[in-house]
Structure 1
Amino acid sequence: MSARIHTILIIGAGGGIGEAVARRFHGLGKKIIVTGREEDREYLTQLARDLPGVGFRVWDVTHLDKLQSEVKRILTAFPKLDTVFINAGTQSYYDIFQQPTADAEVIRELTTNLTAPILISQAFASHLFDLAQSGVKTNLFLTSSSLAYFPVPFYPAYCPSKAGIASFTKILRMQLDSTGNKNMNVVEVVPPYVDTPLNAAHRVQTDALQGGEDKAVQPMPLGEYIDKFFTALEQTKPDGSLSDEVGVGFGAQGAAIWHESNRKLLSASGMAD
């Protein structure tokens, strides 16, 4: 894995998984650029202090009208960028029938989790593809979730947005495969429930819906997840390319079940052996 990644942009690194991934990649000697929203500026500044050489950009990906110009600025500053890790995400808890959330909040969640990642992927795709065509190994990571495969009633916008990322990543990889370009990898990152600030504001409510903290599914500690993620990342294909999905725990189970079911359906229809 290490030989494939030299300069990596991590979008959504103002805490949680994104920040932890940035710290680990920096420890591996990689050139890191991180992004976060304006409210993450303090975290990003501290991250840059902690990790010498890290560059950061304040970038709210929901401002879609500024997306292309931001991508252009990043590529101008880092023309040898070989890896993009799209990790930005938000999660809201609500009940459509009892206490629906405002339309604007639903739109923001879907924009952050699905629309923006798709547009960002498209914006960086030609750069990564062209670099790969020249012989450089390139990579595009998109973070979905175990909830893409196992939806729960707590998150009526989050679950479908992550299912959309899972589907988009597979489609993007299919299109890439059809080009014959073997130097670019498209990877779906599939975390389980991890102890991060993502659901901190509503963890009590979701625990209560599962019968209380003693009965509720508890998150994997962030450090444990990062260790397992990087172990899984090293499990490359025989040709040295990255796995199509890098899942941990319930995330790995969800991706495996999808693949097995999909294989059976394709075989039954004569579209695969």
Structure 2
Amino acid sequence: MKLVGRTVLITGASGGIGEAVARAAHARGATVLLVARGEAKLKALSAELGLRAHAYPCDVSDPSAIESLAATVRDAGHSVDVLVNNAGAGRWVSIEDASPEELLSMAQVPYVAALLMTRAFVGEMIDRRSGRIVTVNSGVSRAVWPGAVGYASARWALRGLDLALKSDLRGTGVGVTEVVLGTVSSDYFTNNPGSEEALPKIARMVPTITPTDAARAICRGIERGRGTVIPTGQLKWVAWSSQHMPRMNHFMLWLTGARRSARRRTPVSPAPTS
């Protein structure tokens, strides 16, 4: 699917990978629908890109807001050809150090947001027998490291969504692409202090790429109809070893990963014996 003349909706488009995808798709001749919570940034990007760029502020963690967004997009006369589920959030933190609210928010975005965004737009694609659903995922969906339970499990759920869609949409004319990225030089580590230190040392073998590099890989994957996009050879090896040598893969990530910090815990007294 060539992007020229197509309409591409990107979530998380106010910065980082999402902004880069919007710029790359727009440069390829697509109309881009920019979705994120940051209204000011979206409008600035839309104004900069000019024609064929439209800002739609929306909190994709809110199911009712997604329904309103879909109605607004349809009322504006846009038919979405490509949905890029890019919005994501979450710290790398041990499960007991995260509040229930934080764990729920990590599941909400990216997983539930991608699930409901897909539901909101895929019906029209099926009717037209044309379209593509793209999910932007993390390398942790292949190789899990310690100290990131909420984040990792949400990303595995996103992987499950991708596989389920590929099965469910087979034969409909709607394609499905999962993009698996390693470290990207975005603002993630700035916005989530302490996370960079939690990255396993072995992960340094996977080169850091820029948001522009990621966007180029995503757009190329869409245009070539790829089912899975993994931009670097090193990350492809990580994904391969996770599937074919899972025990070694998991052990090396554990061995080189962050250790739990010492905590004071109230010792549990043994039960009295009679």
Per the normalisation by structure 2, the TM-score is 0.78
Q: Is the 8 A contact 2:217 2:229 kept in 1?
A: no
Matches within 5 A, 1:52-131: 52-53=50-51, 54-97=53-96, 100-131=97-128
Does 48-57 or 198-207 show the bigger shift? 198-207
Match of 2:182 among 186, 189, 192: 192
Change (3 A) 1:220 1:131: same
Does residue 41 of structure 2 align to residue 43 of structure 1? yes
Q: 1:12 corresponds to which residue?
A: 12
**Structure 2 residue ranges without an equivalent (≥5):** 246-274
What amino acid is the match of 1:166? R
Task: Tell me the SS of whatever aligns to 2:17.
Answer: helix
Residue deviations 1:99-146 (CA, integer Å, cap 9, x gap): x122212111210111121111122121111111xxxx3111111211
Give 1:93 deviation, angstroms: 2.5
Match of 2:191 among 173, 179, 201: 201
| Distance (Å, rounded) in 2 between the aligned partners of 1:208 and 1:190 | 19
Give 1:65 deviation, angstroms: 2.7
Instruction: Answer with 1 or 2: which has the greater Rg.
Output: 2
Q: Is the 8 A contact 1:5 1:82 kept in 2?
A: no
Match of 2:215 among 214, 226, 233: 226
What amino acid is the match of 1:22? A
Q: 2:231 corresponds to which residue?
A: 248
| Distance (Å, rounded) in 2 between the aligned partners of 1:162 and 1:218 | 20
What amino acid is the match of 1:122? R
Give 1:225 deviation, angstroms: 3.1
| Distance (Å, rounded) in 2 between the aligned partners of 1:5 and 1:153 | 44
Q: 2:269 corresponds to which residue?
A: none
**Structure 1 residue ranges without an equivalent (≥5):** 237-241, 262-273
What amino acid is the match of 1:66? A
Change (3 A) 1:174 1:196: same
Give 1:158 deviation, angstroms: 1.2
What amino acid is the match of 2:226? S
Change (3 A) 1:202 1:174: same
Give 1:248 deviation, angstroms: 1.4
Change (3 A) 1:217 1:116: same
Matches within 5 A, 1:206-217: 206-207=196-197, 210=200
Change (3 A) 1:46 1:154: farther
Q: Identity of paired residues, percent? A: 22
| Distance (Å, rounded) in 1 between the aligned partners of 2:15 and 2:54 | 15
Q: Is the 8 A contact 2:66 2:117 kept in 1?
A: yes
Q: Is the 8 A contact 1:92 1:199 kept in 2?
A: no
Q: 1:271 corresponds to which residue?
A: none
Change (3 A) 1:171 1:255: farther
What amino acid is the match of 1:107? L
| Distance (Å, rounded) in 2 between the aligned partners of 1:5 and 1:252 | 32
Q: Is the 8 A contact 1:12 1:87 kept in 2?
A: yes
Change (3 A) 1:72 1:158: same
Does 197-206 or 41-50 show the bigger shift? 197-206
Q: Is the 8 A contact 1:113 1:158 kept in 2?
A: no
Counting matched residue pairs gives: 242
